[in-house]
Copies of this chain bind each other. A is one copy, B any other.
Amino acid sequence: MAASTLTEVARLAGVSPATASRVLNGSARTPGPDIAERVRKAAESLGYIPNAQAQGLAKSSSGLLGLIVHDIADPYFSAIARGVQDAAREQGKMVLLATTGGTPADERAAVAAFAARRADAIVIAGSRSNRPADQDGNAGLAAELDRYCRNGGRVGVVGHPVVGASASEGYHVVAVPNEELAAELARELAANHSGEFVIIAGPEGLLTSDDRVRGFQNGLAVAGRPPAEVMHSGFDRAGGYEAGQLLAARIKARQTSDSAASRLCIFAVNDVMAIGAAAALRSEGLRIPRDASVAGFDDIETLRDFRPELSTVRLPLEEIGRLAAMGTAGDSTADGGAAAAVTGQVTLRRSTETDPRG
């Protein structure tokens, strides 16, 4: 018992399918009011729901917006997803979700699937990777995206252009000033911390992580500080926790050997890693900011109630998602490859206070 079709509606209304189509789905030509009314009534009584697949097939455009994220349950991505969803709704589109865990091969598959569904646009969130192991995957992804663009698809990328993608038109990237903001964070921290800095980074090759590391080091340099040691770990809470454990041991060793040692200042390249690191320190009996400072990046909303309040860089995640999605609308050459601008804000809070009461 399939849903009723436009033809049935037309027959019931005593008009041609063409006319029914014109009245029910926005057309340039609007039939007479009496006829329109009749059609509408017929549609109503039949509970007619237009078949979007058929519509899409006929006008070759689907009203679909593909969204690719690493993990929808990660608050970073879900915030972006909200923005994308918002924008999509405004454009009268629906969003198709794909989660890939950040694997270029999976991302490629997702792009292909979106292309198969003839999605009008694709938004890719999530750090690009430059690891040697992802070389092939990236090439494949780039090829797939290029093909998609050549076929008239529009793509919006959050953060970095896809590695190796030729910046053909239809491309749009929302640039996040990770490097600049990390540098600013470093400078501000350096102004208050006399001690040593350590960076807990994600896997080497993860562009977002690399950018933030580089920016932070630059900021340190500007402030006349030596470069911070960089520890590579997972880009998630577990990675932060792991690195935190290592650091905890080191901090404790230092405290005993050299009681005057200045506090370590730890910069984790994202908030969840920072939380992980903080948890590790705490589980080792260390307190923040008394025994060490900890800063993150992103300013994840759900984490704002964390104590001590995390110093971080606020990123307008939802806005970023919006922009990425919005950039895919409109005429295709308006901003071929152009980058929408987004700005963040260094936000110093308790976790890096230097007059530790805690």
Contact = CB atoms under 8 A, between A and B. Distances in A.
Interface of A: 1-3, 47, 49-54, 56-57, 60, 62, 67, 71-75, 78-79, 81-82, 85, 94-99, 112-113, 115-118, 147, 150-152, 237, 272, 275-276, 278-279, 282, 300-303, 305-307, 318
B72 A118 contact: no
Contact of A47 (B95, B96, B117, B147): B147
B81 A1 contact: no
Given A57-B51, A71-B82, A305-B275, A150 B1 contact: yes
Contacts of A305: 237, 275-276, 278-279, 303, 306
Tell me the number of copies of this protein. Answer: 2
Contacts of A57: 51, 53-54, 57
A278 B121 CA distance: 42
Contacts of A275: 305
Contacts of A78: 72-75, 78, 81
A73 B81 contact: yes
Given A116-B49, A152-B2, A72 B72 contact: yes
A53 B112 CA distance: 14
Nearest 8 pairs of A and B residues by beta carbon: A73-B82, A78-B78, A52-B116, A53-B56, A52-B117, A302-B302, A3-B151, A73-B78
Contacts of A318: 73
Contacts of A54: 53, 57
Given A72-B72, A73-B78, A302-B303, 20 more contacts: A1-B151, A1-B152, A2-B60, A2-B151, A2-B152, A3-B147, A49-B115, A49-B116, A50-B116, A71-B82, A72-B78, A73-B79, A74-B78, A75-B302, A94-B113, A94-B117, A95-B97, A97-B97, A275-B305, A300-B302
Contacts of A81: 72-73, 78, 97
Contacts of A62: 53
Nearest to A278: B305
Contacts of A152: 1-2
Nearest to A275: B305
B151 A115 contact: no
Nearest to A60: B2
Contacts of A112: 49
Contacts of A118: 51-53
A7 to B, nearest CB: 14
